Amino acid sequence: MSEQARRGSLVVVGTGIKAVSHATFDAIACIQHAEQVYYVVDEPVTAAWLRRLNPTATSLDGYYAEGKLRRKTYEEIADKIVSTVRDGVKVCVVFYGHPGVLVDSSHAAIRRLRRSGYPARMLPGISTMDCLFADLNIDPGRDGCQMFEATDFLASRRRFDPASVLVLWQVGALGEPSLHDGLPCRRERIERLTSVLRRSYPAHHRIALYEAAQFLGCKPRIRWIRLARLARTRVWPVATICVPPAYERAQDSRVLRWYDEA
């Protein structure tokens, strides 16, 4: 077999948020035709479905361990993916949700393989953000939308516009270097987040704690609270916070006249 014929490749796909039903036709085809499938999903229904699509499907859950630094786990997963492709295997790696949203391993593996000249690409998946727009009836094109990982939002002192939608990912894992069962959301960290948000929003401003529905027929988990109550509210581990605009920004009438000139 020629060197070119034996050359490995990588396609990274997402299952979407809702088990099985969110997977795209492109993603399914890549899973079926891969020589090796690896996956990181968060429930057994999708794992069983992947094994039916392709008998080579192998979980990467073994790289996760209680107390183990997340960045170490992500590095090891990327190493495994890159090593298999360099062995001449056509690999498809499947991640829960969108494979490019808060998935360090997928981006790292693609960058490394492309630098070495291997074909490596990513297909989009349905993310929590897509579900949030639909479930909370939010049009990001109306007021704009800004998204931050919650720990990075605080650590980097991110600038944001309170006249646009603000979305904070992984609030339940705020400041946690590793993942484990029953992951607590420490009250003092939520208090810190609340304090930062209070600089830009009034105490009575309503915010949403959100979790997308994971299975067909299930409803999303949505709880609206006043910002002042956030520090006294239990934040579940996979919660996303959505903060609607606090006010409408004044518009430039000169630009609005362009609509009349069209």
Confidence of residue 5 (pLDDT cuts 50, 70, 90): very low
Q: Please check the confidence at residue 261 and state whether its pLDDT lies above 80.
A: no
Indicate if the pLDDT at residue 1 is higher than 50: no
Give the C-alpha separation, 184 to 30, whole Å.
Answer: 37
Phi-psi region of 89 (alpha: psi -120 to 50; beta: other; left: phi over 0): beta
pLDDT score, position 199: 96
Q: Catalytic one among 38, 39, 74, 210? A: 74
Q: What is the C-alpha R_g of the chain? A: 21
Q: Which of 70, 86, 158, 221 is catalytic?
A: 70
**9-122 matches 128-243 in fold:** no
User: Which member of 96, 118, 201, 210 is catalytic?
Assistant: 96
> Given CA atoms 55, 43, 26, 147 in this order, what sign does their dihedral have?
negative
Domain boundaries, the chain: 9-122, 128-243
pTM of whole model > 0.85? yes
CATH number of the domain located at residue range(s) 128-243 in this protein: 3.30.950.10
Identify the pLDDT of residue 185: 72
Q: State how far the Cα of 106 lies from the Cα of 84, in Å rounded to an integer.
A: 14
74: annotated active-site residue: yes
User: Among this protein's residues, is 96 annotated catalytic?
Assistant: yes
Known active-site residue 210: no
Q: Exposure string (b/e) for 186-208, b if CB count within 10 Å is 16 or more?
A: eeebbeebbeebeeebeeebebb
Tell me which CATH homologous superfamily contains domain 9-122.
Tetrapyrrole methylase, N-terminal domain (3.40.1010.10)
Provide mean pLDDT across the span 163-190. Answer: 80
At 118-153, the pLDDT tens digits run 999 999 999 999 999 999 999 999 999 999 999 999
227-250, pLDDT tens digit by residue?
Answer: 999 999 988 888 999 999 999 888
Q: What is the C-alpha separation between 238 and 243, in angstroms, rounded?
A: 16
